[in-house]
Amino acid sequence: MSLLRLHLALALVAIGGISVTSRADAPSLPVRASIVCEAPPAPGRFRCDVELRAPEGRLSWAEVEVTFADDFVLPLRGRLGPRDAATHDPDIFRWSLGFVAKSRGAGKVTVRVHAVLCRGPSCDPVTAEVSGRVLVAGASPP
C-alpha cells in the first residue's frame, strides 16, 4: 500500500473512524480486525475473540477496548493491552474478552483496536473497529 493510502486511512480514522466488519470488507486498510463471539446457551459468562492482523508489516504494540455493548451485556474488562494478548506475534495479536449476559437477548458488541504498525524503519498508529453479534439462547437474531 502506498504512503498516500496509509495517510488517507489515518485521516479517516481521525475524522470519523473506520468500521471494519469482516476481513474482506476493507482490503485497503493496513490492518485487518475481526471479532467472533460465543453463543451462550443461557445468561452468564461468554467470550469474544478479537484478532488483529498486519498482512504487510509488523505490529509493535496493540490494545483492544470495548466501545459498545447492548444493555443485556456487560464487559468484564473494558480494555486489554498487549500483555493481555493470547497471541502476540509480529503480524498478529489475539485477545479473549470476557462478558456477562444478564438476560436472554440478541445484539452486538463493538470493539476498537489501536495499534502501531511498522514497515521498514517507519511506524504509524492505526485503528480498526469491529462488531460481533451476541445471541443468548432463546432470543431471535437481530
**CATH number reported for the structural domain that contains residue 57 in this entry:** 2.60.40.10
Residue 108 inside a domain? The answer is yes
Place of cell 509488523: 58
Average pLDDT value for residue range 45-69? 96
What is residue 12's three-state secondary structure?
helix
Range of the domain at 108: 3-136
Number of domains in the chain: 1
Q: How far apart are CA 63 and CA 137, in angstroms?
A: 30
Residue 141 inside a domain? The answer is no
- What pLDDT does 142 receive? 55
Residue 46 inside a domain? The answer is yes
pTM: 0.76
Binning pLDDT at 50, 70 and 90, where does residue 140 land?
Answer: low
Q: What is the pLDDT of residues 59-104, one digit of tens each?
A: 999 999 999 999 999 999 999 999 999 999 999 999 999 999 999 9
What is the number of alpha carbons within 13 Å of residue 115 lying toward its C-beta?
A: 32
Average pLDDT in the chain: 82
For 86-112, the DSSP string reads SEEETTEEEEEEEEEESSSEEEEEEEE
